[in-house]
Structure 1
Amino acid sequence: MKRFWRRHSIILAVAAGVLCLLIASFGNRTATAVYLDQAAARGANTLGLAVTALRGQLARYEKLPELIADYKDIRDLVANPGDGARVAAMNRHLKAVNALLESSDIYVMLPDGLTLAASNYDQTPTFIGENFSYRPYFFDALAGGKGRFFALGTTSLKRGYYFGAPIRPNGGETVMGVVVVKIDVDAIESAWRGGDYEIVVTDPEGIIFMTGRPDWLFTTLQPLTEDRLARTAVTRRYAETPLVELPATRLRTADGHDLISISDRGGTRQYLTVTEAMPEADWTVKVLLDTASVRTQVLTTIAALVLLVALAAMGAAVWLQRRARLAERLQVQREAQEELERRVAERTADLAEVNRLLKDEVAERRATERALRKTQSDLVQAGKLAALGQMSAALSHELNQPLAAARTYADNAGILIERGRIDEARETVGRIASLVDRMASIGKHLRNFARKPNQKLGPVALDEAVRDTLEIVAWRLKAADAELVVDLGPAPPVVHAGSVRLQQVLVNIVSNAADAVEGLPDRRIELRARQEGDRVLITVADRGPGVPEAIAERIFDPFFSTKGVGKGLGLGLSISYNIVKDFGGSLTVGRRPDGGALVSIALDAAHAPARETSHEAAA
């Protein structure tokens, strides 16, 4: 059995190897020719569309110079070039016609090549006063023919196609001037960008003047000989623009395909070239298709054929192996079946026991997690209530002041009413209402702060959270004679958090900062926030003693405090750290380079601000 299998396996391997070599040798040439033909067909279709668009653009303006030249005012103008009023009127007329036709420029030239009137008379630079007698479109039209020329404007430095027509004032053969219409081809060129092909248009000297690749403009795929440069310089087709020869290598395949390799900063790329001439404009249009996709298709095809041969060989080998070992396998399968049934029974019993233990462990861990979350929530609430207890005396003072003022205003209102001074009494009652609103605002913030928050998160407007925080910690700042400087940027960020718990974090951090700067010469506390990508960084900096390195690692431990006895539970930073962690953010404490502590909070940015109807502000 083994000898039979080994002999036939060697024969199959040799046959498959020979077939793969034949596919790699002959299939590569055949597949390349086929895919190049398909690419050439696509390129010919693209080329036809590009040439049609160019011809359509030229045909749209081809007859316009003759129509404009036949206009009576134009003929009268060249007959009386010294009439300033006619020149000014014609300038305005040409500007209006140019805007209507959506052309680039329209201008009138005298027989000596001097521009008399132009649509850009009010622009800088203007064609008026310029002499373009060296342009072919001028002397062709001056000779009574049709002027056609593509060039880079020597004044405007903009590419355009020029149509020229002779002006005959009396309808005779004498040409007294030339009308020129310049059109812009940028709109067509911009549609060529993108895709796996490049479209270029070259002039009679082979210089590229239209292309979807800006770095190919005013370059040539042919050698820049002295004759070509001289002919280009005579007409100043490209003004002073330097002309560059692209490093290109040409190749013609046996199937008649033109290939060209072009090197640039991105490396060397090979293109399949499809060409069509436009004799009416003296242009040559080329479509260059990147052959990278062709090479990829060829490699994919060869790989697929080789893989198919390999799979066929493997299938034959499997079939032979099955024949050789069928009898032996049947016996092995019977023995393996019995052994498998025994092991499955044992493994099933083991898995059932493990599954039961896992269920018990999962239930225990879930109960532990619920207990931990409840404990954390209770600690958060205890921290807030402790902060409220510390606030009580100052808040009593905050409420007593408006109460005393309200009492005084009420007495004054009664006296004013008795004396008939109703307007002053109404103003006094308004002040009482303002004091009541202030007390209600203080009570509202304390009620919201003391309420046990919901665990749901959402967008929270940072400016609203800071404003509410200031209402709560104002007493502490006042007691420490500290100044809180808030800078949330031109557009206050919005973070993904819970509004009440975020307020608690800010209250804890600002209160700690107030404790740190109390009694110091510089009692400024800076709260800043900036959005950096999809994260918002909130920092609170003070100029106190800072956090010593010896206790930096323990700063977030529960019940750890650097304050005196009776001045805190040591839960503030621990609670704040866990709250920020629940938000998906991070809280760190460091030292400022010039002294003091720097607390940094990083949270995810959100898109819509939270309002008072959010989950955590709801009753």
Structure 2
Amino acid sequence: MALSGLAAFQLAQRMGLAEVRATGMHRLDLYAASLQREIGKYAFLPGVLELESDVQGLLAPASDEAARASYAAKVNNYLEQLNERAGTLAAYVINTQGRVVAASNWRRADGYLGEDLSFRPYFLDAMRNGSGRVFGIGTTRGEPGYYLASALSDSQQTLGVAVIKVSLDQLEQSWATVEAPVLVTDEHGVAILSSVSDWKFSTLRPLDEAARAAFEQSQQYSRRALQPLGLQIVRELGNGARLVRLARSGQEMATMFPVSGQFLAQSRLLPGTPWTLTVLSHLEQVEQVAQSRALAAAIAAAFLSLLALMLNERRRHLRDRLAAREALQSANDALERKVARRTADLSAANQQLQDEVAERIRTEATLRAAQDELVQAGKLAVIGQLSTGIAHELNQPLTALRTLSGNSLKFLERGDTATTRVNLERISQLADRMGHITGQLRSFARKSSGERQRVPLGQALDNALSVLEARVQHGGVQLRFDVARPEPVAWCDGNRIEQVLVNLIHNALDAMEGCEQPCLEVHCRTQGDQVLLCVRDHGPGLSEAAQARLFEPFFTTKEPGVGLGLGLPLSAGIVRDCGGSLTGANHPQGGAIFTLVLPLAPPASAAAVSAAPGAPPTEGLDNERHE
């Protein structure tokens, strides 16, 4: 059992990891594409500034102060409009000394004009390599963003640097609604983008002193603490995948996904950048599935072990019997005693066979009686659920009877016989109504004889609805009946089929509980030598799990204590005993539909012959009862 459970656990875990790994690779593709698409929207903007003659004039070394001031005003207005149209955080121009000479936020008090940014990494990269791409935090306003820098030059020399600062907050917000956390780290392991805000500007590995000194000098992250995230590597899986564990740190923020526990981390370098994109897929569900399969494998191993023990005991028993028979035959040297012994053994075996046949007959009778008791219990359960509505239906006539009888006494004392007669007639009508209600319940609650007979399905539907009339009226359910004419007549046990119809209609009413416009549709028609009866509700329909276990005993979608899950299995058994079938599915236009198929009743004369004692089965009818 232990080895089977361990093997099943490891196999299920490997299969689950493979599935999660494939899903993670797909997520990596999607996240990488979205990030590159977001950055690509703004990649051309720094180069556009090089084409502006005003920008060239502003940075030209031969410009005098007046001309430079004029160019600066024009460039400031141009950058302001460009920043507003492109939706960026800021756009500015830096001269070769690292001083900001024009900016889109020149009107603001905390604008960039005149600032010395010669120490910023994107400026240094642009002056050295012609372009710079850096994610960092602004030193003026402390606002994080992605800096796209491009060197501005004429035909002879570099004149300055154009910088566009882009916000990636919208991309991070879209990542916060996905199924697994994702983060982007720079070449030092600092999380610059993350779908979990608490993880941002933390590190996946400890920073050495050289890296911290470089950050302190360039102020790339504005002197943030850059604390470790606490990600522990459990096992390397290869191809950028590894098992990691993230401990719970204080009070966790509310997210769409778990942010602590064991994860499958899958990483990929983003082309054109030193960044690494990492997706963390939580493994809690994989562990649960592996544990459940390990338990199932252990139970199966236990069952096989018990079966092997039973087979071994049977083999030993057979071996002992054969040895005893051989010893008996070798010791028995008298022919007559041997014949007598064999005759006695044959008689005992015959008696045992007869006892086994009788025991089987008694067992079948007991099972049939148990099924009848379950059907009867189901009827009484339905009556118990409808007891409130029945009490309400009977309470109103009783109140009216009490009032009318009291008034009649007073009218008799006054000698008003005409009014007394009217009251007595109304009392008689109310008594008939109460008798009709109790009669339907008494008819529904009686035990079935088990004999097949001609059953008009329209009448059976009316009897079933009479039992559920109070609930239908209370729920405001719209009834739509389509019964073919002439009325289809089925060959079955009428009382049991009424129980099946009550169960189907009762389940349909339960399914439409709380619906704004509940509607119950019943269609009945003849098809060949069968009768088809369909019951459809306008509820939410059946889930995939419910359809797979629809007729499984003790399975129910109702609240605990409301149902035992025996209604549909018993109904299916009743229909099978009648030679029919019961199926359930979702209707294409919504709701659930149950189809009841029963054999068509023979003509009245043939049915009478087949129902007579000792009569042979009528040709074309189900022979199950005769068997």
With normalisation by structure 2, the TM-score equals 0.49
With normalisation by structure 1, the TM-score equals 0.49
